[in-house]
Copies of this chain bind each other. A is one copy, B any other.
Amino acid sequence: MSGTPRPRYVSVIGPGDADDETYGLAHEVGRLVAVRGGVVVCGGLAGVMEAAARGATEAGGVAVGILPDEDRRRVNPFLTHSVATGIGQARNLAVVCSADAVIAVGGGYGTLSEIGLALKVGRPVVALRGWDLGEHVAVAASPEEAVERALGRPGA
């Protein structure tokens, strides 16, 4: 087979303990990805992961959570589907491999590892707040710009 399967998947990564502003940004990113017909992928837990899943599913879209634990039950309640990997922090690799593009909202060490893994396996990364990694990561000033950089201009 060839070609990226439709719909496009966007992983939204960020810390599990987001403040209100970061939560709001991630929620809006999730919503916009869903409105554009994309699937939101996330780490399945709280904070940015929850906000993005919530934004997507409240807008009628789909959110897939990829969990570190062996158990699918420890999960935020806004996921359409959840996958329990049992591999701990190594699930970060699955979170980014499953994406066509990655949007990082806010910082955190797990997020940093996901940015590194995404770049290593060739996924484009857009940052909305958080780690400043120079030329390696596109920086967006708003959720709209982040999603546009991840999915391209609407209709383009």
With contact pairs A81-B62, A84-B94, A97-B70 given, residues A89 and B120 touching in the complex (Cβ less than 8 Å): yes
Among B62, B66, B93, B136, the residue within 8 A (CB) of A90 is B93
Q: Least Cβ distance of A1 to chain B in Å?
A: 6
Contact-residue size bin, chain A (C-beta under 8 Å from the other chain): 35 or more
CA–CA, A85 and B72, complex, Å: 16
**Can you spell out 27 A-B residue pairs with CB atoms less than 8 angstroms apart?**
A1-B74, A3-B73, A5-B82, A39-B81, A64-B64, A64-B81, A70-B89, A71-B97, A84-B98, A85-B85, A85-B97, A85-B98, A86-B88, A86-B89, A86-B93, A87-B87, A87-B90, A87-B93, A89-B117, A89-B121, A90-B93, A92-B113, A109-B136, A112-B113, A113-B117, A114-B116, A116-B116
Q: So how many copies of this chain end up in the complex?
A: 4
- Is A115 interfacial (CB 8 A cutoff)? yes
What's the least CB distance linking A80 to chain B, in Å?
8
**Main SS at interface, chain A:** mixed
Query: Which residues of A does B touch, CB under 8 Å?
Result: 1-5, 9, 39, 41, 62, 64, 66, 69-75, 77, 81-90, 92-94, 97-98, 100, 109-117, 119-121, 131, 133, 136
Select A84's contact among B62, B82, B92, B97, beta carbons within 8 Å: B97
B83 near A98: Cβ-Cβ < 8 Å:
yes
Closest to A1 in B: B73
Contacts of A111 in B (CB 8 A): 116
Who on chain B is nearest to A117 by CB?
B113
